[in-house]
Structure 1
Amino acid sequence: MFGDIALDMLKMMGHSGTVPGSISAQDVPNALSRLTSALSAKNAAEENLPTDVDEEEEQAEPAVSLGRRAFPLIELLKSAIKEECEVMWDNQ
């Protein structure tokens, strides 16, 4: 995952975005809820944008949506909830 996108997702979870960092086991459900809510809101906002596409954009590789990029993180948070464990991250 690209660093700037990862930081955005940390902030969507309600975290400050500091690296390294962690979320305690008791805070993981709230972090997951915040992340999924933020992704839904962002997706809804993007659907309302105009769809003017020029020829260069049409030939470019399709962009990977933030929701698709967030899928592994969402699954990790769900697993952490199930196992009742904290989530930690670093930039290595």
Structure 2
Amino acid sequence: MITFQSDASGDVMMFDEVAHRMMEIMGKERTVRGVVTVEQMPECIARLKAAIAEDRAKAHGKPQGEEEEETGVAARVSLAQRALPLVELLERSLQREKPVLWGV
């Protein structure tokens, strides 16, 4: 588990694989510990929101329940569901000018 923390808001915990994907989207290195500075936040927020929009556009192109019918597995957890708590943490941190740290 990796926890994203800021003095501006509550913690956001993610499994390593999901957290590493968020780091890649934000343009950050996949590291055990790291920081998103206040200066970096606008770009990181924009990248995450763009990835969410792209994921939603792909999902709208697929008929509802198609994945379940093909594989017998319920639909996946969307990128938006995973990324929105992190976006909210970054936005609150930006408003309060506090960095976001992550670590195990």
* TM-score with structure 1 setting the length: 0.80
In structure 2, the residue matched to 1:66 is: 79
The 4+ residue runs of structure 1 with deviation greater than 6 A are none
- Structure (1/2) with the larger strand percentage: 2
Partner secondary structure for residue 19 of structure 1: coil
The superposition leaves residues 27-77 of structure 1 with CA deviations (integer Å, 9 ceiling, x where unpaired) of: 1111101111122123323433573514733xx4x5322211112101100
Give the Cα–Cα distance (whole angstroms) in 2 for the partners of residues 87 and 67 of structure 1: 19
CA contact 2:55–2:78 (8 Å) conserved in 1: no
1:56 to 72, 79, 85: 72
Gaps in structure 1 of 5+ consecutive residues: none
Corresponding residue pairs, total: 88
Gaps in structure 2 of 5+ consecutive residues: 1-13
- Structure (1/2) with the larger helix percentage: 1
Instruction: Give percent identity, aligned residues only.
Output: 33
- Stretch deviating more after TM superposition (41-50 or 70-79): 41-50
In structure 2, the residue matched to 1:28 is: 41
CA RMSD, aligned part only? 2.0
* TM-score with structure 2 setting the length: 0.72
